[in-house]
A and B are shown apart, each in its own frame.
Chain A
Amino acid sequence: MSKLGRRKFLLYGSVGLGTSILLKGCASSEETSTSTTVDSSTGTTVSDSGGDTIKVGILHSLSGTMAISETTVVEAEKLAIEEINAAGGVLGKQIVAIEEDGASDWPTFAEKARKLIDKDNVTTVFGCWTSASRKAVLPVFEEKKHMLWYPVQYEGQECSQNIFYTGAAPNQQIEPAVDWLLANKGKEFFLVGSDYVFPRTANTIIKEQLKAKSGTTVGEDYLPLGDTEVTPIITKIKAALPNGGVIFNSLNGDSNVAFFKQLQGAGLSPDKYPVMSVSIAEEEVRQIGKDYLKDHYASWNYFQTVESPANQKFVEAFKAKYGEDRVTNDPMEAAYIMVYLWKQAVEQAGTTDLEAVRKAAIGQEFDAPEGKVKMLPNHHISKTVRIGQVRDDGLFDIVWSTEKPLDPIPWNQYVPQTKGYACDWTDPNKGGRYKVEKI
């Protein structure tokens, strides 16, 4: 028996070893291939970096549930870096991107942020998607007085000196969407969201806004992340809105698929029950299936269908690099422009010194695919707001847009706790949260 055990042990041990070597071989071949693309594009190798390169960190989930969304953002960031390098780099130096995987795990994000700052000595970090991951790395960046660029639309109620936000604040996405719905689609709202910080905060804002503008919230419900059983919610929607009404959807991830499939099955059609989503962009439409989403709405700052020379260039460059069948969306565009905004700030500062870049970043303007954007003293950017309707090919028809970029308001003015507060990092007396004097 013992002999057999040893034999078996040897056998399984070697099988395990062999498999791990095999897998590692495959994995490392993948890694080398990605690093070679970066190298060839930057035209330099990491080893002889010396003084003629600038290191930046890219911190996103490359594995886990969020990898679906975050890998697309990484692609957009790498595209921007490649374009900048091809045009001569920053301050005459090539940018070298160091990628770290946050693995959809918030403590890992904090750990990797520390590693990028301490070990790799990066000059800035582009990263994060979920608010939870941003909240996890925030203390790290504040402690090290370092710099994070964050590309995703979020719930606001935050304004850190160490973060630049290039996604929409609530007043640049949610509030205009609610106003548009009130004017065009009805006054009764049912709010559906995933059960975590963004939808809950967003819905608090929506409820306050509806109260102020004579709309009504007829019900709200939250689905645990990843849950796919939405029958109880659909029953509640039907009970609360028997004659149709607006559904405001801030679900995230897999639940969206279940929601739209079952919504259609239950006979809640977009003409009577239009759904306005704030987490569904071109990429998600493809994954859910365009037949389920047709004629529903989404609110973003950017759609692939925006007509402008800058956007045409962006879409073409992206498709050329990643494939003709790919689509661009709002977070990708925000990720793309934040790299350019950082580059402009560094060039204006003439150095990668954090303090100087932070000062120089404010006021930077960029002709982005979505239109002109400008970094404001509250570390958020002005953005154009658009509402799109899903059409047959899975892209969006832009049915409404603001005439000019809207200035961001990070502290929400509908929520009593933050009403009357603002943020200004150019004035040392004001800082992240100060009370605005009544005029």
Chain B
Amino acid sequence: MSALIEGLFNGISIGSVLLIAALGLAIVFGLMGVINLAHGELMMLGAYTTFVVQNVFKPLGEPWFELYILFSLPVAFIVSALFGLALERGVIRFLYGRPLETLLATWGVSLILRQFVRSVNWLLVISIAVFCLCFFGGMAILKRLSHWERIRNWAITILLFISSAISIALGFLIDRVGTLALTKPWFSARNVDVTAPTWLRGGWKILGFQMPYARLFIIALTIICLLGVYWFLNRSTWGLRIRAVTQNRSMSACLGIPTAKVDALTFALGSGLAGVAGCAVSLLGSVGPNTGQNYIVDTFMVVVVGGVGNLFGTVVAGLSIGIINYLIGSGTLALIFTSTESLKPLVDFFLFFATSSMAKVMVFAIIITFLQVKPAGLFPQKGRTAEL
């Protein structure tokens, strides 16, 4: 009995990690149809935010440091959401309806983000800030001119060169005269350590095994996020608009729904959830530039299996992939059949797959077979919906 509960708990805990990581993608990819390969990097941003918040809380002493994780959740959400907003406004909105270009562009963004956290230092931040100030400030001033439309292209080109020249020159200057503090990378290419507060370490002993608090925390967090997303999509005005745009973009636009705003908001929401997921996985795994890469394949797998455009499908897919992965990988499936002598070949078969690497192979094989039977996932959308 306790073995069964332990198995179920472990399966659910693996599934909840998959689910929370995939939740943001279920919105971005599922509802909007954007193949966002930078999703993992948005998680990574959330994880790094957790690291920064942890270091801010460290000097505050005991009662506060214990609670840093609760503060880092909203901060991670906001940081990732803002970044997602910038990404949508700056890149993705030009690429709606062109999945292949989106794929390449977001892959590029993910590479840039990974390199960014490796090499970010004050020098780089100052240079970028100065560039933005010159470029967008100049644009704002020039826009007041009456013949702006005519000179637009030239102005932008010249402005671009001037602002980059200024920021590069400033960068060189700071590099020459500045101290090490300015040129020292914030995080460097090394992994950083996120140590869970003491109340999330260890576990709850029950029925002869121990439920890790970190896992329980993630399960609770997943449930809260799910309920929040469900409430937002089905009970709020903006949720209604998001659903309307998902179902029929041109009709929604005709009825006066600001589709561009809805797109931006949806993408920001999905990105913010990725940030929360990043905060959650920092309790279990490593935090480094490649953190996102460890999750990106799994998250797409969950959304595809669940059926694009269906949150409920994502939930079922995440949990079942987690449970299957655990049952195969830990050899529990093989143990169940050992009692029956006639099932010996089956036991051998499962024992062969009862290692972490082979379990992955098996799960992939099952998923591919499943997608042959149901190509649109567990709960395919019916009727004419996402025509993106």
Contact = CB atoms under 8 A, between A and B. Distances in A.
Contacts of A25: 127, 164, 167-168, 171-172
Nearest to A33: B175
A132 interface: no
A236 B203 contact: no
Contacts of B195: 289, 291-292
Contact of B330 (A15, A235, A267): A235
A266 B193 contact: no
Contact of B153 (A7, A22, A26, A33): A7
Interface in B1-52: 6-7, 10, 13-14, 17
* Interface majority SS (helix, strand, loop, mixed), chain B: helix
Interface string A16-39: 011101100110011001000000
Contacts of B157: 10, 14
A254 B160 contact: no
Interface in B225-259: none
Interface string B183-219: 1000001111111100001110100011011110000
B265 interface: no
A229 B14 contact: yes
A377 interface: no
B160 A29 contact: no
A29 B183 CA distance: 10
A267 B205 contact: yes
A222 B355 contact: yes
B294 A228 contact: yes
Interface in B275-333: 281, 283-288, 290-291, 293-294, 325-326, 329-332
Given A228-B281, A264-B201, A287-B193, A26 B290 contact: no
Contact of A287 (B14, B191, B214, B357): B191
A429 B210 CA distance: 61
Contacts of A29: 123, 171-172, 175
A271 to B, nearest CB: 14
A338 B339 CA distance: 58
Interface in B106-162: 115, 118-119, 123-124, 127-128, 131, 152-153, 156-157, 160-161
A227 B356 contact: yes
A266 B286 CA distance: 17
Contacts of B89: none
B191 A22 contact: no
B44 to A, nearest CB: 12
B78 interface: no
A226 interface: yes
B212 to A, nearest CB: 3
A226 B168 contact: no
B189 A71 contact: yes
Contacts of B190: 68, 283, 287
Nearest to A268: B210
A68 B189 contact: yes
Interface in A268-292: 283, 286-289, 291-292
A209 interface: no
Interface string A238-279: 110000000000000110111001101111000000000000
Contacts of A254: 191, 285-286, 288, 290-291, 294
Contact of A265 (B14, B201, B326, B356): B201
B290 A236 contact: no
A265 B215 contact: yes
Contacts of A233: 329-330, 356
Contacts of A14: 156-157, 160-161
A43 interface: no
Contacts of A22: 127-128, 131, 164, 167-168
A232 interface: yes
25 contacts: A10-B153, A11-B156, A14-B160, A17-B160, A18-B160, A21-B164, A21-B168, A22-B131, A25-B172, A26-B124, A33-B175, A68-B191, A195-B356, A226-B290, A226-B294, A235-B7, A235-B10, A253-B286, A258-B285, A262-B214, A265-B203, A286-B193, A287-B190, A287-B193, A288-B193
Interface of A: 7-8, 10-11, 14-15, 17-19, 21-22, 25-26, 29-30, 33, 63, 65, 67-68, 71, 195, 221-224, 226-233, 235-236, 238-239, 253-254, 256-258, 261-262, 264-267, 283, 286-289, 291-292
Given A235-B332, A265-B202, A291-B201, 12 more contacts: A26-B127, A63-B115, A65-B290, A224-B356, A228-B286, A230-B356, A233-B329, A238-B209, A257-B287, A261-B283, A261-B285, A262-B212
